[in-house]
């Protein structure tokens, strides 16, 4: 009986620790969409676009870290689990084609560590990270040239 | 009839056992899901546009949409566009809706459900001055800018002059 209860409670915990696309989307609407807009298209000159773009960051370790260290994410009111769920959903929903073949989803531990070290100069860091990636990734170089 | 039952039993058992040995449940599920998803991707199930807008729920509503106590205005701070020549969903003529906006949730008393409300400001003209509504439920200080409504949210428009605020339902919130 006790074993059954343990198994049941473990199953219950597992359900709650499972990523949920609908919850990720609602959290996106409540915490990101006001500025990044419904399709993550951003706003030229004010809000960086994520649609068909944000996946490029995953082509370097610094870029991967940056997506969690960027102030909007690091300082978010969402908890570590919710951010992990949202970021993995966001990458697949808005920019799957730009992800490297070797992409692995963010983990909660990874997010927890990175967001406690926010990037203090996000614009400069973004430019540096992207220009490094673009040196080996022509599709990003084209996208950046288009952005300017 | 008895021989028929026995024959039916035996042949069904033989077929299912054979099927169970040759195939896997996972394989069947994979193929079945592939057929459903693949089919949906190539042939639309319904002849409708399935944009995000189409999926936005349309809640049943009661009350005066130009009154500050209307349910959608729970977190608003500004002039109601419905009193300024527009509506709670649209800007008055001569103004431009800011795409960048602040977003909150309000409970609809008709169905008890929480909805996600986008308070897009209408910009490009001086303050409307009609139906000032400051409910501010869920409003936070400006050092928490994503949920501060004292800021001018005319951020994505050609003019930063604030005129009035809309209150657009963009989705259903989840119950915690």
pLDDT tens readout for residues B163-173 = 999 999 999 99
Residues 83-112 of B with CB under 8 A from A: 99-105
Contact (Cβ atoms closer than 8 angstroms) between residue A58 and residue A64: yes
pTM over 0.80: no
Q: CB contact, 8 Å: A138 with chain B?
A: no
Q: How far is residue B92 from each of residues A46, A118, B122, B156, measured CA to CA in Å?
A: 25, 41, 8, 17
pLDDT tens readout for residues A99-117 = 999 999 999 999 999 999 9
CATH superfamily, domain at A2-147 = Cytochrome c-like domain (1.10.760.10)
pLDDT tens readout for residues B96-151 = 999 999 898 999 999 999 999 999 999 999 999 999 999 877 777 777 766 676 77
Is residue B102 annotated as part of the catalytic site, yes or no? yes
The count of other CB atoms within 10 Å of the CB of residue A49 is 19
Interface test with B, best of A24, A32, A35, A43 (most B CBs within 10 A): A35
Minimum distance, in Å, between the CA of residue B59 and any CA atom of chain A? 17
Nearest to B161 by CA among B152, B172, B169: B152
Q: What is the DSSP string of A15-84?
A: HHTS--HHHHHHHHHHHTHHHH-TTS--BTTTB---TTTGGGGGGSHHHHHHHHHSHHHHT-SS-HHHHH
Q: How high does pLDDT run on average in chain B?
A: 79
Q: What is the pLDDT of residue B46?
A: 41
Q: CB contact, 8 Å: A23 with chain B?
A: yes
Q: Residue A112 is inside which H or E element, if any? A: helix A108-115
Pairing mode, strands B162-165 and B121-123: antiparallel
Count CA atoms within 13 Å of residue B176 on its CB side.
3
Greatest mean pLDDT among A12-26, A27-41, A100-114, B27-41: A100-114
Residues of A in Cβ contact (< 8 Å) with B102: 34
Is residue B121 annotated as part of the catalytic site, yes or no? yes
Q: Is the ipTM here above 0.90?
A: no
Residues B121, B150, B175, B176: which is the catalytic one? B121
Q: Which residue of A has its CA nearest to B154?
A: A35
């Amino acid at each position: 009986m006790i074993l059954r209860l343990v198994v049941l409670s473990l199953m219950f915990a597992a359900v709650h620790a499972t990523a949920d696309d609908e919850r990720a989307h609602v959290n996106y609407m409540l915490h990101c969409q006001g500025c990044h807009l419904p399709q993550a298209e951003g706003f030229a000159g004010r809000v960086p676009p994520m649609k068909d773009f944000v996946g490029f960051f995953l082509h370097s370790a610094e870029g991967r870290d940056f997506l969690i260290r960027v102030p909007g994410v690091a300082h978010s009111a969402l908890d570590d689990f919710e951010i992990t769920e949202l970021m993995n959903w966001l990458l697949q929903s808005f920019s799957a084609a730009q992800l490297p073949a070797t992409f692995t989803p963010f983990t909660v531990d990874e997010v927890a560590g990175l967001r406690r070290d926010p990037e203090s100069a996000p614009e400069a860091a973004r430019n540096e990270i992207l220009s490094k990636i673009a040196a080996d990734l022509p599709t990003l170089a084209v996208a950046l040239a288009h952005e300017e | 009839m008895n021989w028929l039952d026995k024959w039916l039993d035996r042949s069904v058992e033989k077929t299912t056992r054979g099927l169970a040995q040759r195939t896997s449940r996972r394989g069947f599920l994979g193929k079945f899901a592939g057929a459903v998803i693949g089919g949906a991707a190539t042939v639309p199930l319904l002849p409708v546009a399935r944009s995000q807008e189409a999926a936005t729920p349309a809640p049943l509503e009661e009350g005066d949409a130009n009154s500050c106590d209307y349910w959608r205005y729970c977190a608003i701070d500004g002039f109601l566009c419905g009193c300024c020549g527009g509506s709670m969903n649209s800007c008055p003529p001569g103004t431009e809706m800011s795409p960048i906006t602040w977003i909150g949730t309000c409970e609809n008393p008709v169905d008890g459900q929480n909805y996600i409300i986008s308070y897009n400001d209408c910009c490009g003209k001086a303050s409307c001055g009609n139906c000032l509504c400051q409910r501010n439920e869920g409003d936070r200080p400006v050092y928490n800018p994503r949920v501060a409504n004292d800021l001018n949210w005319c951020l994505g428009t050609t003019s930063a002059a604030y005129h009035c605020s809309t209150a657009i339902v963009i989705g259903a919130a989840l119950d915690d």
